[in-house]
Structure 1
Amino acid sequence: MFRKRKKNTSTRIEVREVLRGCEAGRLQSVGYMQVIPLVSDLNDDRFVSPVQCDAAVYTTSYGTLGFRNTSDSVMIVPCHAGYVVKQHAQDHAMAHAGVVDAAGDRRYDTAACIQASQGGFIKKGSYRMLILPHALREHALQKRGEKNYQKLWDDISVFNQRFGVNGQGHLEYFLKAFKKELDEFVAEFECVPRQVGAIVLVDDRVVGIERAPSHAYWQSIWPSLIRECYGSLAIEAAKANGDRAPDRSPRVQLPVEIASLDELESLITEIASQEDERARSTVRDLLDEPLDLQYEEAVSDRRVGANVSIDTATSQHFTGQVIRDGDKIVYASLPATSAFVKSQEWTRAKPFAI
């Protein structure tokens, strides 16, 4: 059983510590979104996601979201996990990450309703997990300690308006309006072998850093991250540019005529390499950035040898949460702040190799 330990501490690390033990994979690029996979031989199967263990999810009151861990591993509920259900019940999302002990059951009364003016509680069962759209995650984290089920309704309303979607406080209206586009992101970006995380860019700007404890965990949450969270941001970028294709003009001088397939293949490889390097260069300056970690809680499970702490991480450019087992970071979700997403600071980078 987990034992909560009270303390009030803060510490500071650099962004590179979140990526320790990882290597950068080959860039994947589709439209306005780019993904640099993080691959690693570190694979900690003591931790599972709600998707992996087919967790039973339920609500007992408005603003209280419960999880039943059916596995013999510790369950890490991803930061801002949410559930939109078909039954007559109000959809809910977490305002932070969560940890549930092996074969345990835990309720969070700081959850948020994401479907205004809809009554009913979610019956205990297995449902598809989403992760809140990027634009809502910063608001949710800022209100993580509030016990107010309506706390995201105004933010959802503003979010919907930006996409031309009606529905005050109803996230499901956005999801229905852009279902086709969101589904396409899942099909276009695939996990690579040994992948445990990703650095996500939209329109050549770093918009998030994500890390999981294992390859299996990552595979289970990646569809939710790429679909609702970062996919929504890519859709917004396309709308802001009038659906104009992103300008990633290659520096390679294309010949008037291509003499052979070998020459064509060589040119394509060179263009891809340049795009990969351009994306990596936007990351380099961020690696030294300090992250302030504010302690939230610490819990332990002797049966699986886990002793984890949850910290809220803030910096000039990111805000999210980190989960550590001792000194080792096993989970991190660091969406970029809205101010950073809109800024041009990502264009300045100092030399560093990744």
Structure 2
Amino acid sequence: MSEPTALDALVPGPLSLAGHRLGTPQRAGALTMVPVTGPPYPGIAPPRTGLKLTRVAGYGRLELRNGAGAGGGVAIVPLHIGYVQDAAQNHALCRSAFLAPGQSLMFEDACCVQQSQGGYLAERDQWFFVLPLELRARALELRGVHDHAKLWNDITALNRGCGLPARGHLEQILSRRRPVLTQFQNRLELQPGQLGALFFVAGRFAGLEIAPDPAYFAEVWTALVAFAYGVPAWRAEPAPPAGPAAPYEAGDLAGLRAALDRDRAGRVAEVAGWLADLPAGPLQTAEEERYLGLRLSTVTGPHLAGQIVTDGDRAVYASLFAAT
């Protein structure tokens, strides 16, 4: 499957995804992932090995450091990244940012995602996530707002929709449902050279994620597939079939291969139809900051929101998601 025009329809104005291609769709329950390959952009520090959470200096104030040395690359903080640690206050960011090699940056507009757990995060054992799709549009709207409790009402509504206690504890989903959510990571496979993905939930566009290179995407993969898009997919999971059924009707190996080929062709055609039906409309792009030739911008529109990093008209990083 190779349809660059489908990607171009999703991105604003002058942003170019030239050279990026779509691969064969994969499906896990309600979640469909279409791999994206393309030319890598060197010199960007990956988020897990490059970025370190050094401290949370009070509620809503989270500090990250680019651990790369003087010869390392600039870090692009993944949009809506958050950190979980036992017996500490979990936080997430409402925006992306640049960090130069060795630089530390205090995010004053972080949001607390755990309403009543005591303690602050320190630089110890940590794992990170990306906010579930259901919270991302609201979190982007709240960038720059200094209020650590600003997402609690939305988290409460999400928990209620998941049949969980109605309170502002995102860890009820991220930690207690983690074995279920990581099944999406286990059932969907990263492809060689993959540096991005299109995500659909129950046949509807959910998000487009583009990383600078495959190493960066591999490090953010679990946070995206298990949490950002795994949560809405978990909520949309179809009911299990009434009885056991064979996945394919085939009497021999050749018949099975033919059935698999038909299944792949049908899936490609189905995703092509979803892409053709993507909502369109005007998008606004506002530049937020620069680092040398790189520009970080916020994208908003009636159907799409997120942030992008560009070098000229070339896409370096993009995290764009369905706004409704």
TM-score, shorter chain, exceeding 0.5: yes
TM-score normalised by L of structure 1: 0.81
Cα distance change of structure 1 residues 134 and 264 upon mapping to structure 2, 3 Å threshold: same
In the alignment, which residue of structure 2 is the partner of 1:95? 94
In the alignment, which residue of structure 1 is the partner of 2:44? 47
Question: For 1:266-307, what per-residue CA distance to the aligned partner results, in whole angstroms no more than 9, with x for missing partners?
Answer: 12211221112211221134497553211222233xxxxxx2
Residue 78 of structure 1 aligns to a residue whose secondary structure is coil
1:321 aligns with 2:307: yes
Q: How does 1:259-274 map to 2 (within 5 A)?
A: 260-274=252-266
Percent same amino acid at aligned positions? 31
Whole-Å separation in 1 of the counterparts to 2:272 and 2:207: 13
RMSD of equivalent CA atoms: 2.2
Query: Which structure's relative contact order is higher, taking Cα pairs within 8 Å and 6+ residues apart?
Result: 1
Whole-Å separation in 2 of the counterparts to 1:310 and 1:139: 19
Residue 127 of structure 2 aligns to a residue whose secondary structure is coil
* Letter aligned with residue 30 of structure 1: A
In the alignment, which residue of structure 2 is the partner of 1:20? 18
Runs of 5+ unmatched residues, structure 1: 1-11, 246-253, 301-306, 339-354
Runs of 5+ unmatched residues, structure 2: 1-9, 242-247
Question: For 1:86-143, what per-residue CA distance to the aligned partner results, in whole angstroms no more than 9, with x for missing partners?
Answer: 1x32110001112111111111101000011223221134521100111011110111
* Letter aligned with residue 319 of structure 1: A
In the alignment, which residue of structure 2 is the partner of 1:303? none
Which stretch of the first structure deviates more once superposed, 321-330 or 101-110?
321-330
Which stretch of the first structure deviates more once superposed, 308-317 or 102-111?
308-317
Whole-Å separation in 1 of the counterparts to 2:150 and 2:268: 40
Cα distance change of structure 1 residues 81 and 22 upon mapping to structure 2, 3 Å threshold: same
Cα distance change of structure 1 residues 19 and 125 upon mapping to structure 2, 3 Å threshold: farther
Residue 293 of structure 1 aligns to a residue whose secondary structure is strand
Residue 316 of structure 1 aligns to a residue whose secondary structure is coil
1:85 aligns with 2:104: no
In the alignment, which residue of structure 1 is the partner of 2:7? none
Which stretch of the first structure deviates more once superposed, 281-290 or 43-52?
281-290
In the alignment, which residue of structure 1 is the partner of 2:316? 330
Whole-Å separation in 1 of the counterparts to 2:270 and 2:184: 22
Count matched residues: 306
Whole-Å separation in 2 of the counterparts to 1:121 and 1:259: 60
TM-score normalised by L of structure 2: 0.88
For residue 153 of structure 1, report the CA deviation from its aligned partner: 0.7
Residue 117 of structure 1 aligns to a residue whose secondary structure is coil
Cα distance change of structure 1 residues 329 and 258 upon mapping to structure 2, 3 Å threshold: closer
1:311 aligns with 2:297: yes
For residue 258 of structure 1, report the CA deviation from its aligned partner: 4.5
Q: How does 1:179-194 map to 2 (within 5 A)?
A: 179-194=178-193
In the alignment, which residue of structure 2 is the partner of 1:209? 208
